[in-house]
């Protein structure tokens, strides 16, 4: 009788206890983000504040991320697609809606900038911007001016797309992003066409122009070009704004004698947003929400901008950004330049397949 009584009491007590799954807190976070895109202090600060250990992997193109996410069960808790790719991925159902009640620092976000990505994420239901930037031309001004002449206007896409200019720069190195979507958008814009065109004939026209300059492109690269520019191995890059500014900073630290810089061509250029999202099958959702909220702390956010030279949608962070960065028009474009920028938008699947096929042909020469 005693044994039966003890057994009943124990069973009753066990029923009153929460399950082990409820008791256990997430102590691991798996992040998949772009390369060269985080401050040295970001991860240690999060780990210290939350006790959550971060596993941090990197990629250098949206195609790489998309391929991994579309396979399912990637095992990541946070990934950071560009907004136009994110839109198609949301349609495919691979990201979950955010529990905004657990992200109070969303109050720090710039409403106007958040509105810009609502086409990709209606109601900003799934994502929070990590950073934004532009596509433009990265220069070794010293080398380029010596070759083309000091009076050649460098604020024009002609430097890349006109063979009379780019052919002269092959000897000092010409790098183009290995990102079909960005390059076709820039090329279409230069041809006076819609950079987000859905007309296959427009992409064929862009391909024909790219073929004309293909002999002068010495590499297609979306990450290593940073060090190549910093070390003087290339003199012209179609690149991302923050990357070129990282190269400029590294060259200055190494006391290089040449001058590097980033230029947004006066006719306009793409603007894009990289956005934190949580995959549908994320194993550590609570830790992911803590990460997003932590990143949107203004001082944490500003430290990232100070190190990677990309602005963010966190309006409250800007006052904590170093003045020389906050006031740099190549990082925070003034309103007059913002008016010339165009947002990269989601494209139909058939156009994306066409882009990728033409891109492969361009790179391989087949």
Domain boundaries, the chain: 23-133+272-332, 134-271+344-364
**CB-CB neighbours of 150 under 10 Å:** 9
Q: Could you identify the residue written with the tokens 């920028």?
A: 341
Determine the Cα angle at 359 with ends 358 and 363, to 5°.
120
Q: In what order do the strands lie in the sheet with 53-59?
A: 53-59, 28-34, 78-79
What pLDDT sits at residue 197? 98
* pLDDT score for 25: 63
User: pTM, whole model, 2 decimals?
Assistant: 0.86
pLDDT at 26 (0 to 100): 77
284-311 residue pLDDT tens? 999 999 999 999 999 999 999 999 999 9
pLDDT for 17 equals 42
Give residue 13's pLDDT.
40
Q: Say if domain 23-133+272-332 classifies as CATH 3.40.190.10.
A: yes
User: What pLDDT shows up at residue 260?
Assistant: 98
Low-confidence residues of the chain: pLDDT under 70? 1-25
Check residue 119 and give its pLDDT: 85
The pLDDT value given to residue 180: 96
Q: Any idea which architecture 134-271+344-364 has in CATH?
A: 3-Layer(aba) Sandwich (3.40)
* 134-271+344-364 matches 23-133+272-332 in CATH topology: yes
Rounded to whole angstroms, the Cα distance separating 240 from 134 reads 6
Distances (CA, A) of 157 to 55, 267, 269: 40, 8, 9
Q: What burial class does residue 250 get, using C-beta atoms within 10 Å of its C-beta: 0-12 exposed, 13-18 middle, 19+ buried?
A: middle
């Amino acid at each position: 009788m005693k044994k039966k009584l003890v057994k009943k009491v124990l069973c009753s007590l066990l029923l009153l206890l929460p399950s082990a799954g409820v008791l256990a807190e997430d102590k691991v976070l798996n992040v998949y983000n772009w390369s060269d895109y985080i401050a040295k202090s970001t991860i240690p600060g999060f780990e210290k504040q939350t006790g959550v250990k971060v596993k941090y992997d990197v990629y250098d193109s949206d195609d790489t991320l998309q391929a991994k996410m579309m396979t399912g069960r990637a095992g990541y808790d946070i990934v950071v697609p560009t907004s136009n790719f994110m839109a198609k991925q949301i349609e495919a159902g691979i990201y979950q809606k955010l529990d905004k009640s657990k992200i109070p620092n969303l109050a720090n976000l710039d409403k106007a900038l958040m509105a810009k990505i609502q086409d990709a994420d209606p109601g900003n239901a799934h994502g929070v911007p990590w950073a934004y930037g532009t596509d433009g031309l990265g220069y070794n001004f010293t080398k380029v001016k010596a070759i083309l002449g000091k009076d050649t206007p460098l604020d024009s896409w002609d430097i890349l797309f006109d063979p009379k200019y780019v052919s002269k720069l092959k000897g000092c190195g010409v790098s183009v992003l290995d990102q079909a979507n960005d390059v076709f958008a820039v090329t279409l814009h230069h041809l006076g066409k819609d950079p987000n065109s859905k007309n296959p004939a427009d992409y064929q026209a862009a391909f024909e122009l790219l073929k004309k300059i293909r002999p002068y492109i010495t590499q297609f690269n979306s990450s290593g070009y940073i060090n190549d520019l910093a070390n003087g191995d290339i003199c012209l890059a179609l690149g991302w704004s923050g990357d070129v500014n990282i190269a400029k900073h590294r060259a200055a630290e190494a006391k290089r004698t040449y001058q590097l810089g980033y230029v947004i061509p006066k006719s306009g250029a793409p603007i894009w947003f990289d956005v934190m999202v949580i995959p549908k099958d994320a194993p550590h959702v609570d830790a992911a929400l803590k990460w997003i909220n932590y990143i949107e702390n203004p001082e944490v956010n500003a430290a990232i901008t100070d190190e990677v030279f990309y602005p963010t949608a966190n309006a409250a962070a800007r006052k904590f950004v170093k003045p020389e960065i906050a006031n740099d028009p190549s990082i925070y474009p003034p309103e007059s330049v913002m008016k010339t920028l165009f947002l990269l938008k989601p494209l139909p699947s058939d156009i994306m397949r066409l882009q990728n096929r033409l891109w492969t042909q361009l790179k391989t020469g087949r």
